[in-house]
Structures are given as structure tokens and as C-alpha cells.
Amino acid sequence: MTGGQRLILGIETSCDETAASVLLFENPGESPVSPRVLSDVVASQYDLHGRFGGVVPELASRRHVEMIEPVLRAALEDAGVSLGDIGAVAVTRGPGLVIALLVGLSAAKAIAWSRGIPLVGVHHLAGHIYSLFLGGSGPEETSGAAGGPPPFPHLALVVSGGHTDFYRVEGPGREVHLGGTLDDAVGEAYDKVAASMGLGYPGGPRVDELHAAFRASVRPGEEPVSLPRPYLEGKPYNFSFSGLKTAVLSYLRERGLYRDDPSLAPWARPGGMDAGEARALAAGFQEAAVEVLVEKADRAARAQRLRAVSVSGGVASNSHLRDSLARRAQASGWALHLPARRYCTDNAAMIACAGAFALVSGGEAPDYLALDADPAWELDSPGGVSVARKKGRRRG
Amino acid sequence: MPSGGRAWILGIDTSGAAGGLALLEREGETLAGRALDAGARSSRALMPALDLLLREAGVRREDLAAVGAATGPGTFTGLRIGLSTAKGLSLALGIPLYSVSSLEALALLAWRLRPKGEPPEWILPFRDARQGELFWARFEAPQAPGGLPRREGEDGVAEPSRIALPRGRTLAVGSDAALPPAWAAWVGVSHVALSTAAPAVARLAREALMRREPPAPPGLEPRYGREPRAMTQWGAPPGVDHGPSLT
């Protein structure tokens, strides 16, 4: 690829957001300079899954098929460009819900073929990692952003509903997986705890609010509910959140606040908790989860001898996590890099951005017509964002 | 073969156990086609097959005038891959997308391939709907050999024994399903099995284009024929469904 300006169309449908974005980037030959988001359209499905306390794959797939074209049209219109102006397509090809992935990938392949332009298959977590490089000047594009784009190498922690993973990011296409959760992702624990407390989906924002309310109204002697903090000594890059989640469930069950009965509708299982108790429990859960994330990030940065840490993914929009990370970064002397809040949750601008990096490092898929979704794709490759090596299958 | 001026209609059928693509002349009867791997596998096979089909036929992408997609009922994964691909083609090539009923396409193809002898009065396409049920629809056979079957009522989903069978000579056309045992005593039925109806999908899309029918809206969904289990297994979920919104 030669230098100059280029427009890239990003498409993301791996979970419960149908998203498309147009990104403008300059390519002087090494790395894409100041990618600029021209449009960033996200059709969220919270309305659909909220009552179930988590994503229902069949409902997600239906909504993706319905929304893919309206979202693509909106992204082009917002950017003020036509498909004829687009130089490449970047699409999430894994990991995620397989049918959901197939909707975006099918549309992406058809568009790239129709226009005769390259297509890049992007790893969803590469999207989160490269969300740190999204530039912008508007209030929404910058709100919450901290530290600017991280240097290479840096430590990347991706925290979301599906992932809690550490990477050593040497450069585009050189993301080394250090380790991740051995069971639940931290965002999954948030969602399950919130659902069990009857707080709705996604759980993070509500738990965050209740925790803040607890701190604002706390009286002397009042403590958050005490819950385990799984640090997994000897496994510096791994997490485990299922014990913490189960501890919350046990707390609720013992007090008759949650009926774990599969014959009951998900929305009929929680009930009867008073507001003060909900605040103390949310505070206890969030403080435990965040302390673990912050402590492990600090230890991982030290073990890797890295002085720059990026934290991205949906959970990175959590206020308590952001504040706690900032304090620890200052105390320990590493630089903290956070994406704008807008780019923490799933979006297609980050997919376009990772795609731009892949294009620059020669990662486009030459035979993309037969490209398939890979729901269990693992990002850990010496060979480029789009050609990450496949490892053993991991389910769930 | 003519190649100028948007002269071809593309038919995509990924709704059955086997899929297919068809390329039909806009004004003429030249037809080319390719079989496809079905269901989830059609994700890998669909675009390479399309690329090859056009190249073999000497047709350029810019020569496509419209795309027709079989939108069900059928296998959910296949329907989603086919329709998402068709939407991408329609958007990127700037051509209309027509949604074609899989059962209507089967009826038309069965009519065109009907067994010799006295023509049927009815055509009854059916397809496996799992859970012991069939998707089905009923069409009146055309009066003229070149005509189109005329739909009587909507697509249905039911156990075979509960489907009201037409009286009179009937051509039952199964895709992915043998003639159900419950229909064994049915007098006057002949049966053909077709795996893909891609040529008829292209034909029906061409009809829609010629009649200047409005193309499918961007938010078109497949004809699933069933409610998602999550929406029925615990009764109606509470709360208002606000519907999709863009941010």
C-alpha cells in the first residue's frame, strides 16, 4: 500500500451491537497517523436483552440481520461519503457469537467484492487494543480519554463482557497474549451479579451507580458487603471471577433475595432487596472486582517491565475502575492510557482503526472471499492482526 | 453473451439443506447456476461461488440489475448469510434487492419441472420446520405453461396431519423432507424433491423488477416462521421493547 489518505469502513457485529464506522487515516508508510473518525454508528440491543439479564444469541442474530444495512447506510451518510470513496473494509471475524459474526462478515465480503477493494478480518480484541489510537476533537470523542495513544511496547488489559486478557503489545500485528481469565470475564460477572440483583442489563453502569451512592451516603461503621478477592498468587496474568460471582449469588440465596429456579423467568428470580442492602452489596462486589483488576495490572506491568498500561473494553468505562487505575498508576509510576468512554463499549471505529494498522503492516486477507467467522479466534500472532494463529478451540 | 447495461438478475438461495446461485438474463432465457454448500458452510462457499459464476458466464459485477434472495422459511443460519450478503451486494452495487419466499420459489420451480402427464391443479411446497412440523404454503397451478403459481393464503407451520390438503391433482414439492407418512393416503398427489430453487428465485426477482415492485427495505428480516424461544418459553417478557435505535 502506498502513502496518502485513505478511507476505511469498519463493521462490527460480534455480540449485541450492530456497528459501522468510516475512518480517515494517513499512511506515511509505517503506522497510520491520527486516524480520524468520520462516523461511528452503533445500534445497541440493550432494549432486547435487558429483561433476560444477558445476551440471548437468537435475538441478537435477528437484530443484526435487521440492522446491518440501516447502520451501514447511516455510517456512510454521517461521514458524507459514498461506498465509491471507501478504500478498504475492516470487519470483526472473531471471537464472538458465530451467527452474529456471520452477519457482518457476509455483508463486508459482499461490499468488498462489489467495489473491488481489500478486506481485513479483524480480531475483536485488537479492536479494543487499537481503540486507544482513535483521535478526535469533539466532546464525545474525547470524554474520558486519558494519556493519549500508548507507546510500543505497552501492556494492554482488555476488560469486557466476554474478555479479561493481558497482552504485551509490541506493535501492530505483534500482540503477545500473556494470560486472561480462567473462568468468567469481569464484565460477565458484573452482568450476572446485576441480573441476580434485578438491576437489568448491562450490569456495569447500575452497579457503578449503586457503589457511588453507597460511598456518598455511607455512615460511620457501615461497610460494603465483604467478598473474596481472587488474586491467584503465582499466576500473574490470570484472573478468576466466578468465585466472586458465586459469593454474591450465595449471599442473595441465603437471604431469600434470589430464587435460582430455571423454571422461573430470569426476570422473576430476583426480588425483595431493600435499597441500602443493594448499595452495600454492589459496593462490596465492585470494590473486590476493581481491586483485583488494578492490583493484577500493577503486578503485570512490573513483571513485564513496562511503564505504559492501556485498559480498554466495556468495563473500562467504569468510573471506579478508572479512578482506581489512575491512583495506582501515579503511585507506581506507570503511565495510564484510557480510550474515550464512547470507544470502550463495542463500536466499529475501533475495528476500522485496528484494520488500518493491519493494512499498513500488510495484514489484508488476499483470498477474503472464502473468509469465515471464527468464534474462538485467539489473538496472539507474530504475523499480523488479520492472520492471527489459530489455537485449540475454546468454547463458551 | 451480452454483457452491457445491467442485463442480469442474480438469485441467491441459502435457505435449504443445499443452496444455489443463479444468473438469469433480464430479457431472455439464458440461465447459469452453481450449487452451494448449505447452512453455516455457505459462509465460506457463497462469495467464491458467486465470483466464479460471474466469471464463467462472462458477466461483470456492474452488469447485475437486481438481486433476489430466498428469505425463507428455511434454515436460520443459511437465511442470515444469504440475506446479509444480498444486502451488501444491493448497497454496494446500487441495485434493488427483492425478497423471495422460499416456498414460492419451490412452487415455481416444481411447476417448471413438473412430471409429464395431466398438469396439477395445486402446488404444495413444504419444508422441514423441525419439532415434527413442516413449513408449507398452497398455490393454484398456472393456467398457462409459462405462468406463475398463484398463492392461496400465507405460509404456515404445522404438523403434517394438521395441514389441510387440497382436493384435486396436487404437486407436492419437498425440499429437505420426504413426503410425510401422514399424507400417504392422500389421493391425487405427485411429489418432486428439489434441494435448491435458486433459478426460480432469480425468475421471481426478475418478475418483481419488471413489475416495478418496491425493493426490500434496508431493515428487511428473513421469514423465520417461528418466534424465538426466549420470547415464548416463560410467557411474554415484561417491559416495553423500544425497538432498535442508532446512536
- Asked if A72 lies within 8 A of B91 by C-beta distance, the reply is yes
- Asked if A66 lies within 8 A of B43 by C-beta distance, the reply is no
Q: What does the DSSP assignment read for A179-243?
A: EEBSS--HHHHHHHHHHHTT--SSHHHHHHHHHHHHHHH--TT--PPP------TT-TT-B--HH
Task: Enumerate domains of chain A plus CATH numbers.
Answer: 5-134+345-388 (3.30.420.40), 154-339 (3.30.420.40)
CA closest to A54 among chain B residues? B230
Mean pLDDT of B18-43: 88
Domain of B213? 8-101+197-233
CA closest to B52 among chain A residues? A369
Asked if residue B24 and residue B13 are part of one domain, the reply reads yes
In a domain, B246, yes or no: no
Asked if residue B19 and residue B94 are part of one domain, the reply reads yes
Residues in chain A within 8 Å Cβ distance of B38: none
Q: Where does B64-169 show beta strands of DSSP type E?
A: 64-70, 97-100, 122-128, 134-136, 139-140, 150-151, 156-158
Binning pLDDT at 50, 70 and 90, where does residue A30 land?
low
**How far apart (Å, rounded) are the C-alpha atoms in residues B158 and B134?**
6
Q: Does A58 touch chain B (CB under 8 A)?
A: yes
CA closest to A108 among chain B residues? B88
Q: State the complex-level ipTM.
A: 0.94
Which of A59, A103, A109 is opposite residue B47, by nearest beta carbon?
A: A109
Asked if residue B188 and residue B73 are part of one domain, the reply reads no
pLDDT for B4 equals 52
Residues in chain A within 8 Å Cβ distance of B234: 264-266, 268
In a domain, B243, yes or no: no
Asked if residue B89 and residue B31 are part of one domain, the reply reads yes
Q: What is the pLDDT of residues A173-200, one digit of tens each?
A: 899 999 999 999 999 999 999 999 999 8
Residues in chain A within 8 Å Cβ distance of B242: 47
pLDDT for B37 equals 75
In a domain, B125, yes or no: yes
Asked if residue B211 and residue B187 are part of one domain, the reply reads no
Asked if residue B126 and residue B115 are part of one domain, the reply reads yes
- Asked if A102 lies within 8 A of B40 by C-beta distance, the reply is yes
Q: What is the pLDDT of residues A75-132, one digit of tens each?
A: 999 999 999 999 999 999 999 999 999 999 999 999 999 999 999 999 999 999 999 9
CATH number of the domain that B166 lies in?
3.30.420
In a domain, B241, yes or no: no
Asked if residue B183 and residue B169 are part of one domain, the reply reads yes
Asked if residue B202 and residue B84 are part of one domain, the reply reads yes
Among the candidates B171, B193, B215, a domain finishes at B193
Number of domains in chain B: 2
pLDDT for A2 equals 46
Please identify among residues 76-105 of chain A the ones whose CB lies closer than 8 Å to any CB of chain B.
83, 98-99, 102-105
Asked if residue B21 and residue B39 are part of one domain, the reply reads yes
Measured between CA atoms, how close is A215 to chain B, in angstroms?
A: 30
In a domain, B28, yes or no: yes
pLDDT for B70 equals 97
Asked if residue B210 and residue B187 are part of one domain, the reply reads no
Residues of chain B with pLDDT > 70, as a percent, come to 91
pLDDT for B22 equals 97
> How many Cα atoms are found within 13 Å in the side-chain-facing hemisphere of A249?
17
How many angstroms separate the first and last alpha carbons of chain A?
Answer: 38
Burial environment of residue A177 by CB neighbours within 10 A (0 to 12, 13 to 18, 19 or more):
middle
Q: DSSP letter at B31?
A: E
CATH number of the domain that B28 lies in?
3.30.420.40
Choose among B101, B82, B112: nearest CA to B156. B101
pTM for the complete prediction? 0.93
In a domain, B205, yes or no: yes
In a domain, B173, yes or no: yes
CA closest to A102 among chain B residues? B81
pLDDT for B235 equals 75
Q: What is the pLDDT of residues A129-171, one digit of tens each?
A: 999 999 777 777 888 899 999 999 999 999 999 999 999 999 9
B104's grid cell: 414460492
Asked if residue B206 and residue B85 are part of one domain, the reply reads yes
Stretch among A310-314, B38-42, B164-168 having the lowest mean pLDDT: B38-42
**How far apart (Å, rounded) are the C-alpha atoms in residues B68 and B201?**
6
Please identify among residues 359-378 of chain A the ones whose CB lies closer than 8 Å to any CB of chain B.
369-373
Asked if residue B96 and residue B108 are part of one domain, the reply reads no
Q: What does the DSSP assignment read for A131-171?
A: GGG-B--SHHHHTT-BS-SPPSSEEEEEESSS-EEEEEEEE
In a domain, B245, yes or no: no
Three-state DSSP class for B136?
strand
- Asked if B228 lies within 8 A of A83 by C-beta distance, the reply is no
Q: Which of A13, A49, A64, A65 to mutate to test the interface with B (most CBs of B within 10 A)?
A: A65
